[in-house]
A and B are shown apart, each in its own frame.
Chain A
Amino acid sequence: MQDFAASFFEAFRLVLGLNPGLLEIVWLSLKVSMTAVIIAAIVGLPIGAFLAVARFPGRGLLVVTITALMGLPPVVVGLVVYLLLSNAGALGPLQLLYTPTAMIIAQTILVVPIIAALAGQTLEDLNGEYRDQLMLYGLGSLARLRTLLWEGRYSLMTALLAGFGRAIAEVGAVIIVGGNINHVTRVMTTAIALETSKGNLALALGLGIILVILAILVNALVFLLRAAAERSAYA
């Protein structure tokens, strides 16, 4: 119990002291994970929308595969991205290994299936409700996709938040492709792993508490934005 009390104390000490090292790490964590989610949304939402409306042979298999990929082990993704970005790998000349960009790539790969699968399910339900109307308007399939994405925008936020949760919390991928380099690629989760390995358990848990609070803040912000937007849309 003493450890938990000490952890909360550490968390407060770090936050109240506005520890510059902490701010740097928090900022990089947000930057990497948010960028990954944005890119994953650009890729994943259209995939989800396509899966929701299109009917083709093998669709079921594709849906199952993408849904299963939600469980991609971060350490495996990290390893694959490392092998690609390594100087001995195919993309070595890009010199991206041990940079924040490498971390964004790895997290994007982890998040795309989550957004695509969850968005696909949401939009499929929506499509069931709206199909007759959309048919009635005689919209083309591309316009139908766009309408669905727009009408489902608030429900789709949940898919994005699920992706963000995955990205901000994972350590297995970013520690391999980022290298946990101080001031360059150290994020919240890799800092927690490092402090744990130094045996500074209270500090590690303190950082963990801050990470959870950060996730709550991001979710609360999205919740408020969504509430405000819904009010103005239906007012």
Chain B
Amino acid sequence: MKKTIASLVTGAALFLAAASFVPAYAGEFILLQSTTSTQNSGLYDHLLPIFEEKTGIEVRVVAVGTGQAIKNAGNCDGDLLLVHAKSAEDVFVAEGSGKQRRDMMYNDFVLVGPSSDPAAIKGLADINAALKQIAAAKAPFASRGDDSGTHKKEISLWKKAGVETVAHSGKWYRETGSGMGATLNAAVGMEAYVLTDRATWISFGNRAGHEILVEGDPDLFNQYGVVTIDPDHCPNIKSAAADRFVDWLLGPEGQAAIADYRLDGQQLFFPNAENGDS
């Protein structure tokens, strides 16, 4: 009995150890360092099977904030970068990590808040005025605080509104230091206003009493870009396969697939690759 158990345990151990070192998928794959909204909204679940079916190239997505995605890609830990902070993407290319940055699609940011709306901003068409009112009312505002694309956008909007958020951090201005979803959960929990991309908001399951209060300001435009990695900077990356994916994404088929994606009857992303290179 003792021996049986010992050999059983040893056998199981060896099997497990061996099984873990066999890769789950032996085919060709590329690693995509990505922002979270494209994953959380289900866009990849829609796009990637089409591309994989066509080319046999598996796309593995690591969805983190834009800041972290750029950092990871700069460490050569990704074959491609898909984020939404154009200036940071341009820096990434200028520094020599990125090869080429191109527009891929857009949607917009929306300002979400509790329906009680303590700063009375509902229906304002001007994000600048809305932020000023929130600051004046000292109404709770949840910020990503994580150097993501949405966070960068939010900072630029506060700057434009002339509000020094640093001085209010920890009071009405609350930096969660987390992803979009976690920040939305926090905002819902503390009745705070929060800036989010529309795709994440539409697909978000825990909206509770929160709703879109400000939208439609041209300043809320949200451009997604795709950036190839420079093989001179990262000799190990799979340039050819990554280029195929980019060509497909920006070509008529990929662009149509992006436009086709709908959640609750709403289109989440609008392809705009024909705008060309930056």
Residues of A whose CB lies within 8 Å of any CB of B are: 31-32, 34-35, 38-39, 86-89, 92, 95, 97-101, 104, 179-184, 194, 196-201, 203, 225, 228-229, 232-233
Within 8 A of A (CB), among B183-232: 184-185, 203-207
B136 at the interface (CB under 8 A from A): no
Please report the number of residue pairs spanning A and B whose Cβ atoms sit closer than 8 angstroms.
95
Residues of B contacting A228 in the complex (Cβ-Cβ under 8 angstroms): 1, 5
B257 to chain A, nearest CB (A): 18
Residues of B contacting A232 in the complex (Cβ-Cβ under 8 angstroms): 1-2
Contact A197 B23 (CB under 8 A): no
Contact A31 B20 (CB under 8 A): yes
Task: Name the residue among A38, A104, A181 with the largest chain B CB count within 10 angstroms.
Answer: A181
User: From B64, which residue of chain A is reached at the shortest CB distance?
Assistant: A179
8 Å CB contact of A34 from B16, B179, B203: B16
**With contacts A197-B36, A199-B181, A201-B205 known, is A233 near B2, CB below 8 A?**
yes
Within 8 A of A (CB), among B1-27: 1-2, 5, 9, 13, 16-17, 19-21, 23-25
Residues of B contacting A197 in the complex (Cβ-Cβ under 8 angstroms): 36, 40, 179-182, 185
User: From A222, which residue of chain B is reached at the shortest CB distance?
Assistant: B9
B31 at the interface (CB under 8 A from A): yes
In the docked arrangement, what's the CA distance between A228 and B1, Å?
9
**With contacts A184-B60, A196-B182, A232-B1 known, is A87 near B16, CB below 8 A?**
no
Residues of A contacting B63 in the complex (Cβ-Cβ under 8 angstroms): 180
Contact A86 B77 (CB under 8 A): yes
User: From B181, which residue of chain A is reached at the shortest CB distance?
Assistant: A197
Contact A35 B20 (CB under 8 A): yes
Residues of A contacting B207 in the complex (Cβ-Cβ under 8 angstroms): 199
Residues of B contacting A32 in the complex (Cβ-Cβ under 8 angstroms): 20
8 Å CB contact of A88 from B21, B76, B206: B76
8 Å CB contact of A31 from B19, B25, B61: B19
Q: Give 15 A-B contacts (CB < 8 Å), ordered by A residue.
A: A31-B16, A31-B19, A31-B20, A38-B16, A101-B21, A196-B181, A197-B179, A197-B182, A197-B185, A198-B204, A199-B181, A199-B184, A199-B207, A228-B5, A233-B2
Contact A198 B40 (CB under 8 A): yes
In the docked arrangement, what's the CA distance between A86 and B77, Å?
6
Contact B16 A183 (CB under 8 A): no
In the docked arrangement, what's the CA distance between A101 and B5, Å?
27
Contact B25 A184 (CB under 8 A): yes
In the docked arrangement, what's the CA distance between A225 and B8, Å?
11
A5 to chain B, nearest CB (A): 16
In the docked arrangement, what's the CA distance between A54 and B82, Å?
55
B62 at the interface (CB under 8 A from A): yes
**With contacts A88-B76, A198-B181, A199-B181 known, is A99 near B23, CB below 8 A?**
yes
